[in-house]
Amino acid sequence: MIGSRPGLWWRFLWKFISPTFLFVIVICSIVYYEPITLEDYDYPKWADAIGWCLALSSMTLIPAFVIYSLFTADAITWRQRLALAISPRSEHAKIKSSGEADRFKVKCFAFL
């Protein structure tokens, strides 16, 4: 998008740090959940349910699409299905022909 490759810091942040923080925030929100109150007024349960639905609607689409991709991919093995689900469409022909994805190699995690 910006016309050049992002620096080492940004690649590390987007690949590892940000997903980890987001996962921890979601889990802590669920574990330490308390119903919403304002001074002495307790909001109804349906209002809490709508709030949780709005919050989860943006987070559940990515895993839902991955699951959909796993079950609709035209590949033989589950490893190939996973490779197709997590790879860009430009790499799909290579994965289907060779059966191997760059995402499963250590080179994919190298930052240099």
Question: In terms of Cα–Cα distance, which of 90, 85, 89, 91 is closest to 62?
Answer: 85
Instruction: Dihedral sign for Cα 59, 60, 65, 67, please.
Output: positive
Tens of pLDDT, residue by residue over 79-95, are: 888 888 877 788 888 88
Annotated domain spans of the chain: 73-112
Average pLDDT value for residue range 54-83: 83
Tens of pLDDT, residue by residue over 19-44, are: 899 889 989 988 998 888 888 898 99
Number of Cβ within a 10 Å radius of residue 30:
10
Number of Cβ within a 10 Å radius of residue 85:
19
Tokens of 86: 């997590």
Q: How far apart are CA 11 and CA 95, in angstroms?
A: 24
